[in-house]
Structure 1
Amino acid sequence: MIRVLLVDDQPLVRAGLRMLCDTEELIEVVGEAGDGEQAVRLAERLTPDVVLMDLRMPRLDGIEASRRILRNLPATRIVVLTTFDDDDHLYPALEAGACGFLAKDAEPAELLAAIGRAAAGESPFSPRVLDRLVDQALRARQPRRATGPQLPEGITEREREVLALLGDGLANAEIAERLNLGVTTVKTHVAGLMGKTGRANRVQLAILAVQLGLSGG
């Protein structure tokens, strides 16, 4: 059972998310929070596996709430739910430790699958949100660089293939099927890529893949 905490300042949004989660027997909504401070308190008390986190909320925003939750509960997986006017919050949320990013208008099946992927240690994201994360990263983190990032030396051809598929948003099982590899082997390649590139998680690897032009973006 995947224990989920819903965090959004709009009651109707939380109600819709709860109804959706209730359709999946392997997901249990253990609590709801209407602001960041309440989210931190409930997370500490309920220890959810996955938090669906809004970014703009009163009292404490989703970025700082994510940071505080992960400080005390590092195993918790936080998936950000974003709208198209949240761009300035996306990269800070990534830095705060969010493992995934979904548009609020994502299909129900996509959201349910994202919860499962997050709980399994992967980093779900909508391709459109990835594009915006890349734009934000380039604007905010590389304003003076004449050239984009380079692929570090020592990356194997297989790792390059895995990196490209991460940029396309594929899960480990999908990458394994595409490349005719075992899932454990894919996990090893992902871990190796993190070490060689200095990226902390799959989302950052996916951003790198798009920046390098390895994926379809």
Structure 2
Amino acid sequence: MASSDVKLIGAWASPFVMRPRIALNLKSVPYEFLQETFGSKSELLLKSNPVHKKIPVLLHADKPVSESNIIVEYIDDTWSSSGPSILPSDPYDRAMARFWAAYIDEKWFVALRGFLRAGGEEEKKAVIAQLEEGNAFLEKAFIDCSKGKPFFNGDNIGYLDIALGCFLAWLRVTELAVSYKILDEAKTPSLSKWAENFCNDPAVKPVMPETAKLAEFAKKIFPKPQA
């Protein structure tokens, strides 16, 4: 399939855009990346996703698919014969992957983002408590899902790996900004090793934002709270 048949509307810094980019790489699907400018929405984006008006949007033969995790599932289904399966084949494992992916978006990432916006020390302590609780949950989830293998999905990166791994660049930036080790090897050794494996995977490396570049971008969208 020609790359012109597959297009992705997104932005380099968005962790949610990273999800379909990794999935497309895993499936060896060539695509055209249509970069949105921060602070504005293109006519194509508004036309392709009139409901939420958000990135990412996958255009496959000019048909739009929105919402990052839905796009990942669409990619897995559409190119099922190419590359490893992204979603687990077992129904229970698949349900658990979706459960933890929802937890990551609705709870864990909200706490991570809150760290960059936290003002006083009490607010920061509350965020740290939320993140440490979340990391403990995810450490156990990794042990249960991976069954002793490198990724949540086993031998290869899968749905839950993508759901969490897309935030690792932002996690590094947050650690630098707040001078606090969020993913601590002493507390979550399995998750820390997983993060290293994930970032070194050839499907991930080309789309993982550079920490320094992302840190500069973060200063624009997360100004320091006034004392």
TM-score range, shorter chain: under 0.3
- Output the TM-score relative to the length of structure 2: 0.26
- Output the TM-score relative to the length of structure 1: 0.27
- RCO higher in structure (CA 8 A, sep ≥6): 2
* More strand, by proportion: 1
